[in-house]
Amino acid sequence: EDQVTQSPEALRLQEGESSSLNCSYTVSGLRGLFWYRQDPGKGPEFLFTLYSAGEEKEKERLKATLTKKESFLHITAPKPEDSATYLCAVQPYTGGFKTIFGAGTRLFVKA
C-alpha cells in the first residue's frame, strides 16, 4: 500500500536554528514526490517536485532532497515567517496522477 509518514509531528525552533523535516514513503513506483507549505486556513502552496533519488532542489532557506525511501526538507537559519505546516506527498505511476499526502509537520519558529 502506498504510504507517506512525516516526522516529527511538530517542531519548535529558535530563529536561526537550522533543522530538517523527514518524509518516509513506500510506493509501488514513484512518479514524483512533492513538498507543500500550508498556512492555517489556506490551501497548500507548492514548493518542490523531486523525481529521482539523489535529486536536490533549493528555494531561499529551503532545500529538499530525495532517496529511494525518504525525503528531507532542510531549513537553514529559519525565520518566524517560515512557521507553517509542511506537507509531503507522493504520486505513484498507477492511479492516474492521484497524490497521497502525509499528515504534515507543524513548524514553529520563535524570534
Partner 1 sequence: GAVVSQHPSRVICKSGTSVKIECRSLDFQATTMFWYRQFPKQSLMLMATSNEGSKATYEQGVEKDKFLINHASLTLSTLTVTSAHPEDSSFYICSARVSTENTEAFFGQGTRLTVV
Residue numbers of the site for partner 1 (CB under 8 A)? 31-32, 34, 36, 41-46, 49, 87, 91, 96-104, 106
Grid cell of 58 as nine digits: 533549493
Nearer to partner 1, 36 or 78 (CB): 36
Q: How far apart are the C-alpha atoms of 20 and 79, rounded to whole Å?
A: 14
Nearer to partner 1, 42 or 79 (CB): 42
| Distance in Å, CB of 7 to partner 1, minimum | 13
Grid cell of 8 as nine digits: 516529527
Q: How far apart are the C-alpha atoms of 5 and 46, rounded to whole Å?
A: 19
Q: How far apart are the C-alpha atoms of 45 and 12, rounded to whole Å?
A: 21
The residues facing 91 across adjacent strands are: 32
| Distance in Å, CB of 102 to partner 1, minimum | 6
The residues facing 58 across adjacent strands are: 63
Nearer to partner 1, 17 or 31 (CB): 31
Residues in the chain: 111
